[in-house]
Amino acid sequence: MNGMLGTLIGLLALWMAACCFCGFKRRFVAFLAVLLIGLGANLCWMVFGLDAHIFEVNVLIAQTSAVIYAVCAFAIGLFLSRIRRKWMESRVEGS
C-alpha cells in the first residue's frame, strides 16, 4: 500500500467516525454538514486527482456509495446511543 492510498483510507475512516459521532450525539444538522463536506472532498479528488468528469457513471456510483457509507455510520451511531441510553436507564442503584 502506498502513502496516498493509506491517506485516503485513513480519511475515509475519520469521515465515517465523524458520521457515527453525529449519530451518537443525535446531531442531524452536523451530520448533513459532514456528509456534504465528505461528498465535496470525494468529488474534488475524483475530478482533479483522477481526471474524471462529474457525471460519469463511476463518479455517480462512488458518490452514491459514499452516501450509503455515511448513512450506515450515522445509523450505527444512533444504535449505539440507544444501547447506551437503555443501559444507563436499567442500572440498579445500590444503597
| Cβ contact 24:81 at 8 Å | yes
Question: Is the per-residue pLDDT at 78 higher than 90?
Answer: yes
Rounded CA gap, 45 and 34, in Å?
Answer: 16
Q: List pLDDT tens digits, range 45-63.
A: 999 989 999 999 999 999 9
Rounded CA gap, 19 and 28, in Å?
Answer: 10
Question: Is the per-residue pLDDT at 95 higher than 80?
Answer: no
Tell the residue number behind the cell numbers 500500500, with chain if given.
Answer: 1
The mean pLDDT value of the chain amounts to 93
Dihedral sign of CA atoms 29, 16, 82, 64 in order = positive
Question: Is the per-residue pLDDT at 94 higher than 90?
Answer: no
Closest CA relative to residue 46, chosen from 34, 58, 36, 35: 58
Rounded CA gap, 67 and 37, in Å?
Answer: 11
Q: Which three cell numbers stand for residue 68?
A: 450509503
